Structure formats: structure tokens, C-alpha cells
């Protein structure tokens, strides 16, 4: 039996002593100035040219993909899209600091992490067109990616649910004795969910090697951060859970990389969670269903456009001699072409056959779903013109 210690370290005071917010003031890590120069006193993280360029190209690719897919949604070619414009650094550079074996559990605006892992343009398209080539079988809305071979858990829409799940996943990794951990991305809005509290507290108590990576981009749809919480962002909550915490400039790829690298080292060696809060801004609309002009000003957006993480990193790369802007422009153009080509090609791929309506509910299709499928097939055969997506292939 262990002796309990909930009072063992507590000091005493004789006057009513109010602990208030002002007690702490968490600064954020910044390495690159907005113009891409290294800040005085800052130390660049160890980052090979190759990795740096991979981060950069991933960010650029996502910028291009986002632009193109928002347009495709407007044209009615896909039903929904959700861009990460302005926030590419947070997910690309953090993913770069991980090991490939680490599990990624994301919210939905971390396509750059997925792309960094190697998800191809075609794979993105397959998911967005919900087609039969997509391993998730077209069951969820566009942007709900998932790729087992890339250790990227399939995204689910309910917010915050992945936070305690990530703690559990990490616990399992620890028990297997693997040198792997879990990273869990979420927005500052999702951090209001009860599952956030559950996940962080459990990870701390149960010593789970997990990075909780909060993208604080100032908004949850229309709700600004100051209607979301009153504390010092999400970072200040780490203290309450006894979780080591790092705040970082979310538009500074180098700072993100350094912070995540350090966090991973701590998580894996000390078997504990680390909380990172990346301060950024959602330059994009929340999604293609949203129009932010109703709730924020053009000036505010402009201020943040000036902090663009891609431009910032580009300047740094140029200063290192690792990037040639002209060549890069061609490269970006090629990406654009690639996206266009894949889009056109993939939109013709059919959806899964109707049998896949009932698979994967259980490990085996149970009797009642067999029956329902049978009835449905007969029905479709009777009215094939009404079910054009599947009728052609009902045997």
C-alpha cells in the first residue's frame, strides 16, 4: 500500500491568497522572424537540407491542393472541403519531427502531416471522391483521411474524441515496448470538450508517451478564442494536469520542428505526455460551408497573411542557399498540374459495390445485414435507374 501524498508538498499561507491568471504568462518559442531571418539568440534546430525541403514542399503542396479543392467544391465536383491555409507549418513541421512508427491521430486540418508521411495526390483524390480505390471505402465525407500503412488513424468528425484515444494508443505502444509514441492534433475549440480533460489527465496519470498538439488558430468556426476560454490559451492548462508544456509560434516551421523534436524526446524517454500549443491563424474559411466575412475583418486576415509560414520558410531556405525561387515557382506549377490531372482522372472512378454498404459494420456480415443487403439488391434491380451509382454492378 502506498502512502498518500495529496498534502505532503503543500505550503501554508495565513491570508486569503488568490491565485489568479496573472500568475503565469507563457511565452512562445520563435526561431524565425516573420521575414525568415533567424532571431538573435535563437538556435536553429538540427535540420538536414533534405528534411527542410521536404517540410517546405509539403507545405506548398498542401497550399496548392487546398486552393484547387476549394475551387473543385465550388464547381460542385466534390461535396465538401476544408483548407488549412496559413497553418501548414504546424502540421508539416511537427510531422517531420516524428518517427514514421509514431501514430498520428488528427482532427481534420492536418492534411500537411499526412502528405508529409507520403499520402499521394491520388490518395487524396480517392478519399475526396469517396471511390472504390479508397481504403476507407468512401464512407465518410471528404477530408476524413486515414491510412493504416502510414500510421495515420482514420479521422472521425466528432471533436475531441481522439484525445483520450491517443492516450490509450500510446499506452499500448508503451506496453509493447516499442520506440514509438502517438501525436494527437486538435484545435483550441475542440480543447473545450470533456474528452480533452479526460485525455490529458489520463495521459498524465497513466504515463502515456503522447504529444497533444493543439493548433490554436483563434477560431472555432465563428467563435473567437476569447469566447472559447479565459485562461492563457491552452498551454496554461498543461500546468493543471502536471504535463510538460511548450508554446510555439505556429507559423514558424523551425520553431515547430524544434518544439516537437524536444517533446518527442521527452515523451519517449520519460514515458509521459507533452502538450504543445501552436499559435496560428485560420486564414481559410472554416470549410467550404462557411463564410468568415460574417464574423471577422479583412484587416485581421491581412495581418495574418503577412505572417505566412510558407513565405517565412522560403526566405530562410533562400538565405541558406537551399532554395531557388524561380525553380520553386516551376515546381509549384508542376504540383498544380499534378493535382488537376489526378482530379480529372479520379473523379471517374466508381464507388464501391453495394455489398460494401454492409461490410465492416462487424468483422463478419451478420444475418440481419445479409438479409437487408439481399432485399436491397433486389430492390435496386427493380429500379436500376434510380440507383445509378451501384445498379450497374449488382449481380
Partner 1 sequence: MAQMNMLQAVNNALMTAMEENERVMVLGEDVGHFGGVFRATSNLQEKFGRERVFNTPLVEQGIIGFANGLASQGSVAVAEIQFGDYIFPAFDQIVNETAKWRYRSGGQFSVGSLTIRTPYGGGIAGGLYHSQSPEAYFAHTPGMKIVTPRNPYQAKGLLLASIRDDNPVLFMEPKRIYRASVGDVPEEDYELPLGKAEVVKEGSDITLLAWGAQMEVMEKAAAMAEKDGISCEIVDLRSILPWDAETVCASVEKTGRLIVSHEAPQTGGFAAEISAKVQERCFLYLESPIMRVCGLDTPFPLAHEKEYMPDELKVYEAIKRSMNF
Catalytic residues: 282, 286, 295
Strands (E), 156-283: 182-187, 210-216, 219-220, 223-224, 244-249, 274-279
Interaction between residue 132 and its own copies (CB under 8 A) = no
> Pattern of binders to its own copies over 43-82, x per CB under 8 A?
x---------------------------------------
- Count residues near its own copies (CB under 8 A): 81
The residue among 188 and 277 lying less far from Mg ion, judged by its C-beta, is: 188
Contact by Cβ (8 Å): 55, 257: yes
Helix axes 121-128, 325-346, angle to 10 degrees: 40
Q: Which residues, 213 to 252, sit near its own copies by CB under 8 A? A: 216, 218-219, 224-233, 235-247, 249
136: exposed, middle or buried (Cβ count in 10 Å: 0-12, 13-18, 19+): middle
The residue among 137 and 331 lying less far from partner 1, judged by its C-beta, is: 137
**Contact region for ligand TPP (CB under 6 A) — 1-9, 156-164, 235-243, 359-367?**
156-164
**Contact region for its own copies (CB under 8 A) — 84-92, 254-262, 356-364, 378-386?**
254-262
> Please, what's the b/e burial string for 67-82 (b: 16 or more CB within 10 A of its CB; e: otherwise)?
ebbbebbeeeebeebb
Interaction between residue 6 and ligand TPP (CB under 6 A) = no
Beta carbon of residue 347, minimum distance to partner 1 (angstroms, whole number): 13
Q: Which residues, 199 to 218, sit near partner 1 by CB under 8 A? A: 199, 201-202, 205-206
Interaction between residue 252 and partner 1 (CB under 8 A) = no
> Pattern of binders to partner 1 over 111-140, x per CB under 8 A?
-------------------xx--xxxxxxx
Strand partners, 124: none
d(CA 254, CA 108): 23
Interaction between residue 237 and ligand TPP (CB under 6 A) = no
The residue among 137 and 320 lying less far from partner 1, judged by its C-beta, is: 137
CA distances from 113 to 58, 180, 188 (A): 8, 17, 18
Q: Give the residue from 245, 242, 170 showing the smallest Cα distance to 205.
A: 242
3 state DSSP class of 159: coil
Q: Which residues have CB under 8 Å from 46's CB, separation 6+?
A: none
Interaction between residue 198 and its own copies (CB under 8 A) = yes
Interaction between residue 160 and Mg ion (CB under 5 A) = no
* Among 64, 190, 235, 275, contact with ligand TPP (rule: CB under 6 A): 190
The residue among 113 and 346 lying less far from ligand TPP, judged by its C-beta, is: 113
d(CA 230, CA 203): 24
Q: Which residues, 283 to 312, sit near ligand TPP by CB under 6 A? A: 286
Would the CA dihedral through 152, 153, 157, 158 be positive or negative?
A: negative
Q: Which residues, 214 to 243, sit near Mg ion by CB under 5 A? A: 217, 220
Beta carbon of residue 17, minimum distance to ligand TPP (angstroms, whole number): 24
The residue among 45 and 160 lying less far from Mg ion, judged by its C-beta, is: 160
* Among 54, 307, 320, 389, contact with partner 1 (rule: CB under 8 A): 389
Would the CA dihedral through 120, 48, 217, 304 be positive or negative?
A: negative
Q: Which residues, 105 to 124, sit near ligand TPP by CB under 6 A? A: 109
Helix (H) or strand (E) holding 105: strand 103-105
Interaction between residue 273 and partner 1 (CB under 8 A) = no
Radius of gyration, alpha carbons of the chain: 23
The residue among 230 and 386 lying less far from its own copies, judged by its C-beta, is: 230
d(CA 312, CA 195): 35
* Contacting positions for ligand TPP (CB under 6 A): 109, 157-159, 187-190, 215, 217, 219-221, 282, 286
Amino acid at each position: 500500500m502506498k502512502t498518500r501524498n495529496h498534502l505532503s508538498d503543500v505550503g501554508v499561507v495565513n491570508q486569503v491568497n488568490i491565485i489568479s491568471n496573472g500568475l503565469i504568462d507563457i511565452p512562445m518559442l520563435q526561431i524565425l522572424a516573420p521575414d525568415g531571418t533567424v532571431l538573435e539568440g535563437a538556435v536553429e534546430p538540427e535540420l538536414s537540407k533534405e528534411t527542410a525541403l521536404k517540410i517546405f514542399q509539403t507545405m506548398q503542396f498542401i497550399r496548392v491542393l487546398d486552393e484547387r479543392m476549394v475551387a473543385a467544391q465550388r464547381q460542385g465536383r466534390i461535396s465538401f472541403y476544408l483548407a488549412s491555409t496559413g497553418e501548414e507549418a504546424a502540421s508539416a513541421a511537427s510531422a517531420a519531427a516524428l518517427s514514421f512508427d509514431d501514430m498520428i491521430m488528427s482532427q481534420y486540418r492536418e492534411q500537411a502531416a499526412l502528405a508529409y508521411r507520403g499520402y499521394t495526390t491520388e490518395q487524396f483524390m480517392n478519399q475526396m471522391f469517396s471511390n472504390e480505390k479508397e481504403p476507407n471505402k468512401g464512407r465518410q465525407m471528404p477530408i476524413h483521411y486515414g491510412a493504416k500503412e502510414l500510421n495515420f488513424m482514420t479521422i472521425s468528425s466528432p471533436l475531441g474524441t481522439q484525445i483520450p484515444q491517443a492516450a490509450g494508443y500510446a499506452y499500448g505502444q508503451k506496453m509493447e515496448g516499442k520506440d514509438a509514441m502517438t501525436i494527437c492534433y486538435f484545435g483550441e475549440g475542440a480543447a473545450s470538450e470533456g474528452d480533452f480533460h479526460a485525455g490529458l489527465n489520463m495521459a498524465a496519470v497513466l504515463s502515456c508517451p503522447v504529444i497533444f498538439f493543439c493548433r490554436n488558430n483563434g477560431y472555432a468556426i465563428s467563435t473567437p478564442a476569447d469566447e472559447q476560454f479565459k485562461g492563457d490559451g491552452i498551454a496554461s492548462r498543461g500546468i493543471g494536469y502536471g504535463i510538460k508544456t511548450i508554446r510555439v509560434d505556429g507559423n514558424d516551421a523551425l520553431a515547430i520542428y524544434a518544439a516537437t523534436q524536444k517533446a518527442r524526446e521527452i515523451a519517449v524517454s520519460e514515458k509521459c505526455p507533452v502538450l504543445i500549443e501552436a499559435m496560428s491563424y485560420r486564414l481559410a474559411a472554416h470549410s467550404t460551408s462557411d463564410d468568415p466575412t460574417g464574423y471577422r475583418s479583412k484587416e485581421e486576415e491581412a495581418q495574418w497573411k503577412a505572417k505566412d509560414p510558407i513565405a517565412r520558410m522560403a526566405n530562410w531556405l533562400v538565405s541558406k542557399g537551399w532554395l531557388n525561387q524561380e525553380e520553386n515557382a516551376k515546381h509549384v506549377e508542376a504540383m498544380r498540374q499534378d493535382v488537376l490531372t489526378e482530379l480529372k482522372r479520379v473523379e471517374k472512378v466508381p464507388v464501391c459495390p453495394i455489398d460494401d454498404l454492409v461490410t465492416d459494420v462487424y468483422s463478419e456480415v451478420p444475418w440481419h445485414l445479409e438479409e437487408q443487403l439481399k432485399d436491397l439488391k433486389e430492390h435496386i434491380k427493380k429500379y436500376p435507374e434510380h440507383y445509378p451509382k451501384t445498379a450497374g454492378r449488382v449481380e
